[in-house]
Amino acid sequence: MKRSPSKFLGVEMDALDIPQLNGLIAESIQKQEKWIIANHNLHSLYIYHHDQKMREFYAQADYTHIDGMPLVFIGKLLGHSLQRKHRVTYADWIWDLMDESANKGWRIFYLGSKPGVAQKGADILRQKYPNLEITCAHGYIDVRKDSLENQNTIAAINAFQPHVLMVGMSMPRQEHWILDNLEQLNTNIILPSGACIDYVAGAVPTPPRWMGKMGLEWSYRLFSEPKRLWRRYLVQPWFIGKLFVREMMGFSHQTNSNIAVE
């Protein structure tokens, strides 16, 4: 699939829905290539603008889908052709992805979550999709590149030979880990997937799906985990707001200039 990303708030994002994302996975497997499919939400945008290593990670990504309805709203206000279907979060995608994987024989390796949580989530997925080949390892490891624990984890991944490697360690730890170990990983698709399996296992409550479509999922998550998430949802958006106002002013100026020329 030829990439034509939207560019706003200082980053590039691809307008991709779930069938297109699954299609990209199929394409990478067919071509026997290794791709990163990253994602952006308001939290990742904040980190991106404050973390050089995060910017290096996104520079390595082959595609970056939108994981946040506020970004869809902002993109539309700035003139980009985005729709609700272009907001893809793992709480929704995981089921389609596992169904497709079971039907097409894609092997899945999930790295992340607390000990026992990923295994519980994998068991639930196997029960729902009996043909699914999935294995996992918890993410509470010494992530230093040359540590024995890290090297053993990479060896386990490569021994399984997954088509899809999902890394759920929270941002930016998961992106840093992928960037540090990219050359050693033997897989086709790498997905930084956050608390994906935690939702499946019930370790983290899943927001009602209508809230996600309305851009209100953040309020549910904040209420569920206020100590962990208050800064993400109550402080970081002010920085994003400044980026939006700055870009909106530039967009308005550009529009007025075009009108004047015409």
The Cα angle at residue 231 between residues 228 and 235, in degrees rounded to 5: 165
- When computed from its CA atoms, the radius of gyration of the chain, rounded to whole angstroms, is 19
Q: pLDDT value at position 204? A: 80
* Helix (H), strand (E) counts: the chain: 13, 8
Q: pLDDT value at position 261? A: 31
Segment 94-142, tens digit of pLDDT: 999 999 999 999 999 999 999 999 999 999 999 999 999 999 999 999 9
Nearest alpha carbon to residue 99 among 60, 128, 135: 128
For residue 172, cis peptide bond before it (omega within 30 degrees of 0): yes
pLDDT above 80 for 220: no
Pairing state of beta strands 11-13 and 6-8? antiparallel
Summarize the confidence of residues 23-35 as an average pLDDT. Answer: 98
- In this structure, what are the phi and psi dihedrals at residue 5, rounded to the nearest 5 degrees? -70, 155
Summarize the confidence of residues 33-56 as an average pLDDT. Answer: 96
Q: C-alpha distances in angstroms, 208 versus 88, 89, 166, 197, 215?
A: 15, 13, 23, 17, 11
Nearest alpha carbon to residue 240 among 43, 52, 12, 89: 43
CB atoms within 10 A of CB 47: 17
pLDDT above 70 for 212: no
The model's pTM is 0.88
